[in-house]
A and B are shown apart, each in its own frame.
Chain A
Amino acid sequence: MNLLGYFRSQRKKSASVAKERLQILVARERAQRGGPDYLPALQEELLQVIRKYVEVDQDAVQMHVDREGDCEILELNITLPEHHQ
């Protein structure tokens, strides 16, 4: 760093901010990828069905597709609230 630069503000460099944001985003997008195209619609409909009976949050239904050889595994995780009628 040169003399002038030393006295400039020490805020975080934009490149490292960019890298962090990208790492998070890319990881999330990769996790969604590879699943069948109907996955988001299925997730939404499941949420609606569950909401007929229990009041749950928007993110209560979590889905994840894994692949083992020729076999696809759909993992479905539904979080119910702790106190419901």
Chain B
Amino acid sequence: MAKTVVVTSGKGGVGKTTTSAALATGLARQGHRTAVVDFDVGLRNLDLVMGCERRVVYDFVNVINGDATLNQALIRDKRVEGLYVLAASQTRDKDALTQDGVERVMTELSEQFDYVICDSPAGIERGALMAMYHADDAIVVTNPEVSSVRDSDRVLGILASKSRRAEQGDEPVREHLLLTRYSPERVNKGEMLSLEDVGEILAIDLLGVIPESQAVLNASNAGVPVILESESDAGQAYDDAVARFLGEQRPLRFTDVPRKGFFGRLFGS
């Protein structure tokens, strides 16, 4: 029985797909069989970030409609053993993800894998609700910015009322905060909400802080999950987050400004 994890946020552009790719790759690298599923029907992008866009033959909706088997549609990652991608469909039909169809595919995935990562689309429409519905754990990706924090809080409310666990009265979905695009310099200047501020408002467990980093764009340009860029700050921060997700204790990194010398302090801005 797999553990199902939704990567969600409400707001778009905060790093859900980057996080889904990094988390799935990190879990597979630790020896867990992992599938990462793109729920963004009509705006498929996980395949690009994972670098397998030219190998998509069948997608999620094909499997739901019975045009392909799940194993035909799963794309095996060539870099990491035990890592598979299920691409979203490019159809414009918003109702393509049927409740029953998604349920069947999730059940089948759950039998084959240790972890199923659901990359949610932005918003709180059908695709996002479907991605959240089956979750055991939720990673709420948030930027230190008012609109993102508000949307994250809204999503937490939906997880608490509309998920399968909520409907069936099971133990609630475990919620984890992942703060992304964090800039310690701007926090120090009082221009950006600090991780303590966001933590206080959302009041959920902090899984990790990913610094604003050139490495994220570079990695997505190349179709490499940023966690594989092990020299980069963002790659290391994701590696820490995956380790914490698996129960390891690791101190936060990249959340403080490196100390400046005397002249830097005098004249730096």
Contacts and interface: CB of A to CB of B under 8 A. Distances in A.
A66 to B, nearest CB: 15
Nearest to A13: B190
Interface in B181-202: 187, 189-194, 197, 200-201
B157 A15 contact: no
A32 to B, nearest CB: 10
B66 interface: no
Interface in B146-180: 146, 149-150, 153-154, 157, 161
A21 B268 CA distance: 30
A16 B268 CA distance: 23
Contact of B191 (A15, A19, A21, A34): A15
Contact of B265 (A2, A18, A19, A33): A2
DSSP class of A's interface residues: helix, strand, loop or mixed?
Answer: helix
A4 to B, nearest CB: 6
Interface of B: 145-146, 149-150, 153-154, 157, 161, 187, 189-194, 197, 200-201, 265-269
Given A2-B266, A15-B192, A15-B193, 18 more contacts: A3-B267, A5-B269, A13-B190, A15-B187, A15-B190, A15-B191, A15-B197, A18-B193, A18-B197, A19-B193, A22-B150, A22-B193, A26-B150, A26-B153, A29-B150, A29-B153, A29-B157, A33-B157
